[in-house]
Amino acid sequence: MSSDYEHIEVPDSGEKITADGDELSVPDEPVIPILHGDGIGKDVGPAAQKVLDAAAAATGRKVHWMEVYAGESAREIYGEDVNLPDETVDAIREHRVAIKGPLTTPVGAGFRSLNVALRQTLDLYANVRPTYYLDGVPSPMKAPEEMDMVTFRENTEDVYAGIEWEQGTEEVQQVKEFVEDEMGMDDIMHDGPIGLGLKPISEKGSKRLVREAIDYAIENDRDKVTLVHKGNIMKFTEGQFGTWGMEVADEEYPDDEVFAAPDSLWEEQDEVDIPEDAVMVEERLADAMLQWMQLRTDEFDVLAMPNLNGDYLSDAAGAQIGGLGIAPGANFGEGRCLAEPVHGSAPKRAGQNKANPTALILSGRLMFEYMGWEETGQLIRDAVEQTISDGKVTYDLERQIEGGEKLSTTEYADEIIANIEKLS
């Protein structure tokens, strides 16, 4: 393969993944961009890559990795002022499916977040975070095994769109005067310094996110999609998200495939005829959902929600099954996937060969499943679970497991690979 990239080395062999809309065409030896990331990314990135290679080989496939750069690695190669090179974005866009480790956004970088910038630039509108329990992982919950949930978090709008004005600036004063004088809302404006922001939630953004969640539920034999928002307070943003989402369920799918639950469902459930095997779509308020996730964990399946709610709720769900160190994630767009762990870069642990690579490994599993490599993905999950249940873990889990064996990042990856070979 040839390319005009300046600093990205394209593999000599392998084929591009292509797409027709949302439908991917995946060769047995695809070229996949990989970004190891900052901080502990330098440790967990190569370790995860080895595990993914082993799982692919065990199922008769091979990945041709193409290293791309952002954050610290980009500054080293492209110059101190370059944190997200255009050719990194272009490479991920061109090759459709990629995986990255955690990134740290430096102060004054011009981005609120490099992670958010990648999602928005590539229009990866659905942040997808499966949360499931692995046998042997210490958890604060009495029955963590009841958690098997997938959150779909809208990725491009809400407060993460970055529309805000700093206190003391001319711009914030103009917005304040507009709200007070033109909109007649002076009763909510306090005297003195104030910061202001806009919270955009659109029909397009809401509906495509909910549509993605429903399609996922159908394709993966999930029973229910729950729309989570704070619509009782923010009626014209979060409330509208719920309304638009229910319109998708009610208008775009056959009644025997998707059932849009009425508001009265909880009180009159015995009187509602839910078609057998249909995916039920319901609404819940975000604050109540934080409670129900703990008290009635097994009642929830797929969640769809605006950006900020998705950030909070997916982290809370991760805590129930042992923490963000094992929480995978990915960003879906139209025929695109950028897998990434939920955790951050933890720079104080960087370069010590001790960080836990599980979240990045399981993000690779999610990437493979997006590609249609379900057998490869299941093998990864089984091998990771076997390793942890054997008590062979990195320091973060070993200190919580009686009789556990503490392994380095690389030793842990090697143990998973050994289990891949045993299970395949």
pLDDT tens digits for 112-155?
688 888 998 999 999 999 999 999 999 989 999 999 999 999 99
CA 3, CA 84: separation in Å to the nearest integer? Answer: 19
Q: Record the tokens describing residue 123, joined without a space.
A: 């229009």
- Residue listed under structure tokens 């497991």: 401
Mean pLDDT of 273-297: 91
- Residue listed under structure tokens 């064996």: 405
Residue 173, Cβ density class (10 Å: 0-12 exposed, 13-18 middle, ≥19 buried): middle
- Please pick, among 69, 160, 253, 370, the residue that the annotation labels catalytic: 160
Helix (H) or strand (E) holding 302: strand 302-305
Mean pLDDT of 340-349: 92
The pLDDT score that the predictor gives to residue 325 is 86
Are 363 and 99 within 8 A, CB to CB?
yes
Mean pLDDT lowest among 99-108, 122-131, 330-339, 409-418: 99-108
Annotated binding site for D-threo-isocitrate: 113, 115, 119, 129, 153
Annotated binding site: 104, 113, 115, 119, 129, 153, 311, 356, 395, 399
The pLDDT score that the predictor gives to residue 1 is 46
- Please pick, among 199, 230, 354, 392, the residue that the annotation labels catalytic: 230
CA 15, CA 24: separation in Å to the nearest integer? Answer: 13
CATH 3.40.718.10 domain range(s) in the chain? 1-132+325-424, 140-149+202-320
pLDDT surpasses 90 at 324: no
pLDDT surpasses 60 at 270: no
* Radius of gyration over every alpha carbon of the chain, rounded to an integer in angstroms: 22
Q: What is the rounded average pLDDT for all residues in the chain?
A: 92
Architecture, CATH, for domain 140-149+202-320? 3-Layer(aba) Sandwich (3.40)
Helix (H, G, I), strand (E, B) or coil at 30: strand
CA 212, CA 196: separation in Å to the nearest integer? Answer: 32
- Please pick, among 38, 158, 311, 396, the residue that the annotation labels catalytic: 311
The pLDDT score that the predictor gives to residue 3 is 63
Are 240 and 201 within 8 A, CB to CB?
yes
The pLDDT score that the predictor gives to residue 2 is 45
- Please pick, among 28, 181, 263, 287, the residue that the annotation labels catalytic: 287
Mean pLDDT of 283-295: 94
CA 131, CA 322: separation in Å to the nearest integer? Answer: 10
Residue 100 a catalytic site member: no
| Stronger pLDDT, 104 or 112, i.e. the higher one | 104
Architecture, CATH, for domain 1-132+325-424? 3-Layer(aba) Sandwich (3.40)
pTM for the model: 0.92
Mean pLDDT of 199-216: 97
Chain-centroid distance, C-alpha 313: 12
Give me the percent of the chain exceeding a pLDDT of 90: 83
CA 124, CA 137: separation in Å to the nearest integer? Answer: 31
Mean pLDDT of 179-196: 82
3-state SS record for 175-202 = HHHHHHHHCCCHHHCCCCCCCEECCCCC
Annotated binding site for Mg(2+): 311
The pLDDT score that the predictor gives to residue 275 is 83
pLDDT surpasses 50 at 281: yes
The pLDDT score that the predictor gives to residue 300 is 95
With cut-offs at 50, 70 and 90, classify the pLDDT of residue 110.
low
Q: Record the tokens describing residue 130, joined without a space.
A: 């499966």
Residue 160 a catalytic site member: yes
Residue 159's nearest CA partner among 105, 212, 238 is: 238
CA 155, CA 305: separation in Å to the nearest integer? Answer: 10
Q: Which amino acid is at 283?
A: E
pLDDT digits over 399-417, tens only? Answer: 999 999 999 999 999 999 9
How many CB atoms within 10 Å of residue 94?
Answer: 16
pLDDT surpasses 90 at 54: yes
Are 153 and 310 within 8 A, CB to CB?
yes
Annotated binding site for NADP(+): 104, 356, 395, 399
How many CB atoms within 10 Å of residue 272?
Answer: 13
